Each structure stands twice: as C-alpha cells, then as structure tokens.
Structure 1
Amino acid sequence: MSNHRSALILQVVGFQNSGKTSFVSELTKQLSAAGKRVGVIKHHGHGGELDLPMSDSHRHAMAGAVLSSVIGEGETFIEWRDADTFELLLNWYEMHVDIVLIEGYKRKDYPKVVLVRDGHEQPVDVTNVIARGDSVADKDRLMRSVERWMEDEMVSSE
C-alpha cells in the first residue's frame, strides 16, 4: 500500500483473566464480518521469552537477526527482536488496517475498554476510558459502546 492511512486505535485492558483475549477475539470477528480490516497487537505482560514455534525463521532470530520472517501460502510470520518495537509496529499496522486493537499496555493513552470481573479489583490510573465492564455480563453493552465510539471517530475524522 502506498497511501498512508490512519487506522482507529482501541485498547482493551484489564487484569489477568479479565476476559481481554476473548473480548478482543469477539470484537475482531464482528468487525471483520462488517468488512473492516483488523490488526491486533497483544502485550506479553507476564515477562520472559515469548513462546514461539521452533522454525527456521526463529532460529535466524535466535542467531541475532533483528527481523526474521517466513512467508507461506496466504500468511506471513514476522519475528521482530528490538528493545521497543511498539510504536514502529503500530505505525506499520496503521498503514494496512482499518482498526488496531491493542490487548494490554494499560499505560498507553489510546481510547480504552477496561474489563473487570464482577467483584475483582479494577485497574486504576488508566486514561481515555470509553467503556468499562465485565467481559461476559456486560459484553453486549461494551460492544455497543465500541460501535458508537467508532461511528463518532469516523465522523470526526471526515
């Protein structure tokens, strides 16, 4: 793609086991079904090495390659080893998708859906919250909030 596009960016945050992955997967499914190109960035917030498949491209990365990839029939796997690739990766995503869903990264300042389990502790000091609730009990309300937010963002960017 030669034209730079600016995708909508939405974070989904919450503590471990709050339903982030399920919510992001469901949101991705709905947005894709509506014809949107969706990209997802997941924060590996638990520390340690990523659990990557042992492939030739991974062996190249382990040998010191900063970028390593394998391209197959209709898909590409890219391993990017650098100190801070978040902004670089986000910029690349914005050129290729309509919406970027970021799972995690509580301290980033993009619009957020905050997920909590009923009776559990809520993340504090998160900014730019557009919706908050239980990923199961409040799923429909949260999805509607995201839809309204997207409509508002699309209108304001025109």
Structure 2
Amino acid sequence: MGNAHMRVFGIAGYSGSGKTTLIERVLPLLAARGLRIGVIKHTHHDFDIDQPGKDSWRAREAGAAAVLLASDHRTAVLTEHRDTPPRLEDLLDKLPPCDLVLVEGYKWEAIPKLEVHRAETGKPWLFPGDPNILVVVAADVGRPRDFPCIDIDAVHQLTDFILDHAQSRPTA
C-alpha cells in the first residue's frame, strides 16, 4: 500500500504547543500545490473511534486483529496493537500513495522535523537534544539564540521549509 517515493517531515513538540494548528495552516498551501498529503498523528492517550455494540466493535472484542470499515466516502482500519506499539515505518506502509506525509508526534524519530514550542506548556526545548530538528517555531517565547527560527505566522515560509527539507521515507 505504501509509496516508496513519499517524503516525510515531522512536526515535534509537547502537547499543547500548537502542532495540530500549524499542520492545519500549512495543509491547504501544500494541497494547493497539487500534492497528496498524508498525516500520521501519534497520541499517548488511548482512543477508540469505534462504538460499543457496533458490528466492528464486536468483532474486535471477539479477538479480530484488524477491522476495516468502508463507506462510499472513506475507509478506516482499526488495528489492535496488543503486544507491541507500531513503528513509524510500519504506519507509513499502511498509507495510500502520498507525495508527503506530515508526522505529528514521534518526536524522537530520526526524520527531519521542526519543533513547535510554547512557553505555557512548561516544557523544555527539544532541539538541543535532537539533531533532526532543523528549525524551531516559537509561539509565545523569544527565539533561541544561535538556532534557526521561523515565525509561527509565516505560513508560506513554513510550507516552503517543509517541502525543501522533507526526505524520502525511512526504511526498516
């Protein structure tokens, strides 16, 4: 299913820093360039898009390792990871062909990324300990000294930066 030619770029930062908002702002600009964009979002919270009592939920509860839901408008694959969390490479394989995949979270993956930082999270900067962070986007705090920074409202510049620095997907 995956596409060996897709490029990958990460959006890192702690919860509440503005990662999703930044993605929402650059997605229309990327799509306007004719690109097919995928997004992989990591969460530390347990979630379920299924509803108790529905057929798909019942199949999972009965032990199905995966259930694919399909309508005329979209599909969703619910995969149980009972033993091991999925690796980013495996998730990329599950995507339909895309030109670019924005990876939200997975902050310690060895992929090119930017850091979104917000002082109100009370968390430290990530870039000093991660050589894969190429630039920071600071929302409510001064720029770090001696490190590249792009203003959070410079959406066109951020879009160009992502396209210029996205790399071919990692392989296992």
Quick check: TM above 0.5? yes
**Post-superposition shift, 1:42?**
0.7
Aligned to 2:157: 144
- Contact 2:25–2:155, Cα closer than 8 Å, also in 1: no
Change (3 A) 1:75 1:56: same
| Unmatched segments (≥5 aa) in structure 2 | 142-150, 168-172
The answer to whether residue 58 in structure 2 is matched with residue 59 in structure 1 is yes
Number of corresponding residues: 150
SS of structure 2 residue aligned to 1:29 = helix
The answer to whether residue 125 in structure 2 is matched with residue 122 in structure 1 is yes
| Unmatched segments (≥5 aa) in structure 1 | none
Aligned to 1:107: 108
- Contact 1:68–1:78, Cα closer than 8 Å, also in 2: yes
The root-mean-square deviation of aligned C-alpha atoms, in Å, is: 2.7
Q: Distance in 2 between matches of 1:59 and 1:110?
A: 37
Change (3 A) 1:116 1:85: same
| Structure with greater helix share of residues | 1
Q: Distance in 1 between matches of 2:3 and 2:16?
A: 36
- Contact 1:45–1:104, Cα closer than 8 Å, also in 2: no
Change (3 A) 1:61 1:90: same
Bigger drift between 50-59 and 97-106 goes to 50-59
- Contact 1:38–1:100, Cα closer than 8 Å, also in 2: yes
**TM-score scaled by structure 2?**
0.73
Matched ranges for 1:10-21 at <5 A = 10-21=9-20
Q: Distance in 2 between matches of 1:92 and 1:106?
A: 20
**Post-superposition shift, 1:15?**
1.0
Q: Distance in 1 between matches of 2:166 and 2:13?
A: 23
Q: Distance in 2 between matches of 1:70 and 1:43?
A: 21
Aligned to 2:99: 98
Larger Rg, first or second structure (1 or 2):
2
**TM-score scaled by structure 1?**
0.79
Q: Distance in 2 between matches of 1:142 and 1:18?
A: 16
Identity %: 27
Name the amino acid aligned to 1:101.
L
Bigger drift between 6-15 and 58-67 goes to 58-67
Name the amino acid aligned to 1:91.
D
Name the amino acid aligned to 1:122.
W
